[in-house]
Amino acid sequence: MRPLAAGNWKMNGHQASVAELGALKDKLAAASPACDVMICPPATLITTFSDAAAGSVIQIGGQDCHSAVSGAHTGDISAAMLKDAGAGAVIVGHSERRADHGETSELVKAKAQAAIDAGLVAIVCLGETLAEREAGDTLSVVHAQLNGSLPDQAAGATTIIAYEPVWAIGSGLTPTTEQVAEVHQAIRAGLSALTSAEEAHRIRILYGGSVKPSNAAELMAIDNVDGALVGGASLKADDFAGIIAAF
Ligand code: PGA
């Protein structure tokens, strides 16, 4: 399965940041990547970025969507609006949204389903907090999130999973290769049970949390790791290109 390097820009970037996308586009044109490449900018930049990425391998995604198609939801954005703006995918259930906006797995599942119904790929995020890991609850937490958040239409063509330990996000800390391998294997087994053994092997499972050029090759070589979801290190074309080169 072709891996994916996806950049999550979070609440960073202005119209001028399209220069960074241009720099990435130039680097990737010079050496064609061995993985799919996606940037998920803030919603305000999706149209600008998708126009700028045209003719390159770079796909554009959103960072969140509402579960409804339209309606009285001030400040929210529907999956169809993201698609209309130029996105091909959307992240749902990022731990920052689960924590900051109280998003439950039930809501994340509804968002993922809305994304797929609108023709987007849903990137569904899962991951334990440090307290949950220290309590020995990592696998049960991740299983509960997977069971609760996986859309009914989950398949390789519609759904991507991102395992992001909350304590590894933006902290510079990464789990050991054994810890990553254990969770990714458990997610694959969970996907098998929820879809089928064949389909489970078509659904990419990304690792996210402090991925950088210096650790990407090691993390991406782990069994059942099919790519990376990258926050901070995706903001600079040089760093993100360094991660992409590790595939
Ligand atoms: P980080 O963020 O790479 O800055 O740790 C990853 C993420 O939250 O998607």
Residue closest by Cα to atom 7 of ligand 1? 231
The CA 243 to ligand 1 mean position distance, Å, reads 13
175 lines ligand 1 (CB under 6 A): no
Contact criterion met (CB below 8 Å) for 206 and 165: no
Give the mean pLDDT of 2-25.
Answer: 98
**pLDDT averaged over every residue in the chain:** 98
Q: Mean pLDDT, to the nearest integer, of 41-60?
A: 98
- Structurally, the chain folds into a number of domains equal to 1
Known catalytic residue at 164: yes
In a domain, 173, yes or no: yes
Please choose from 229, 236, 240, 243 the residue to mutate so as to test ligand 1's pocket, defined by most ligand atoms within 8 A of CB. Answer: 229
Note the pLDDT of residue 31. Answer: 85
Catalytic residue among 20, 128, 132, 164: 164
The domain containing residue 191 runs over which residues?
Answer: 1-8+79-233
Whether residue 70 is contained in a domain is answered as no
Is 26 within a domain?
Answer: no
The token pair at 70 is 């339209």
Residue 184 within any structural domain of the chain: yes
CA 195 to chain centroid, in Å, comes to 20
What angle (nearest 5°) sits at the alpha carbon of residue 102, between those of residues 47 and 189? 85
* CATH number of the domain enclosing 193: 3.20.20.70
User: Is 164 a pocket residue for ligand 1 (Cβ < 6 Å)?
Assistant: yes
The CB of 86 under 6 Å from ligand 1? The reply is: no
Q: What is the number of the ligand 1 atom nearest to the C-alpha of 234?
A: 3
State pLDDT tens for residues 93-127.
999 999 999 999 999 999 999 999 999 999 999 99
Specify if 167 maps to a domain.
yes
pLDDT in tens, 190-229: 999 999 999 999 999 999 999 999 999 999 999 999 999 9
Q: Would residue 201 show up in a list of annotated catalytic residues for this protein?
A: no
d(CA 223, CA 27): 28
Residue type, 48: T
Q: What are phi and psi of 150, to 5 degrees?
A: -70, 125
Torsion from C-alpha of 103, 109, 115, 116, nearest 10 degrees: 170
Helix (H) or strand (E) holding 152: none
For residue 83, tell me if it sits in a domain.
yes
**So what's the pLDDT on residue 161?**
99
For residues 147 and 145, give the distance between their C-alpha atoms in angstroms, rounded to a whole number: 6
DSSP string for residues in 72-112: S-TT--BHHHHHHHT-SEEEES-HHHHHHS---HHHHHHHH
Q: In this structure, is residue 50 part of a structural domain?
A: no
- pTM (2 d.p.): 0.98
Ligand 1 within 6 A of CB of 61: no
Report pLDDT digits (tens) over 152-193. Answer: 999 999 999 999 999 999 999 999 999 999 999 999 999 999
Q: Does some domain include residue 166?
A: yes
- C-beta 169 within 6 A of ligand 1: yes
